[in-house]
Amino acid sequence: MAAGGAGVGNKTYSFKVVLLGEGCVGKTSLVLRYCENKFNDKHITTLQASFLTKKLNIGGKRVNLAIWDTAGQERFHALGPIYYRDSNGAILVYDITDEDSFQKVKNWVKELRKMLGNEICLCIIIGNKIDLEKERHVSVQDAEGYAESVGAKHYHTSAKLNKGIEELFLDLCKRMIETAQADERAKGNGSSQSGTGRRGVQIVDDEPPNAAAAGGGCCSSG
């Protein structure tokens, strides 16, 4: 997918964002709430992947967003690379009431780093279901500390209460635009940039302990 969009003149950008995470963490609910402002209490199992689109206007720039919602079940795990390989942004979702789903996010970070290396897309880690705060099993400190250690931004969301979702997508879109513009400038300067619409930024593994001090991250700091 051409991440830079339809050119600089009319300021239209087309971005692909992929949601990754275990089953039942609320990925589909987040996408439906953001794109269609719908919420369903019943869990809907995603088979393989589906996507929804949303058109935005951010600072006079038109953005066409394709959001891919991937299946969380283990048997579909191998399909992940098909969806995230050419994405501009990744949203890694865990359920704040489910410690195991948070550990699985760490596995996704390693997977992205292994598969994409320097071509890693911008990423955000989300603690979903804050409407169930009383049942929280993943501490805010642990989650935000981990996200910082791998250079990701962290958000708390609730599809049920419609909290945090608009903010995280707006933030991600702004950073994807910045990345695309940086690529456009690099190409204009005659730089041979690999990848379309994203810089080669590194994701830092959470191991070894000194990795965080080595610089880089799975998202740009801008």
The string of pLDDT tens digits covering residues 175-218 is 999 999 988 888 887 655 444 444 433 344 455 444 443 344 55
DSSP β-ladder status, 122-128 and 89-95: parallel
Residue 201 neighbours by CB under 8 Å, 6+ apart: 118, 120, 122, 216, 217, 218, 219, 220
pTM of the model: 0.77
From CA 209, how far away is CA 166, in angstroms rounded? 33
From CA 101, how far away is CA 204, in angstroms rounded? 20
Residue 43 CB burial class (10 angstroms; 0-12, 13-18, ≥19): exposed
Give all domains of the chain, ordered by start, each with its CATH number: 12-184 (3.40.50.300)
pLDDT in tens, 48-82: 457 789 999 998 999 999 998 876 544 445 555 67
Tally Cβ neighbours within 10 Å of residue 177: 20
From CA 216, how far away is CA 219, in angstroms rounded? 8
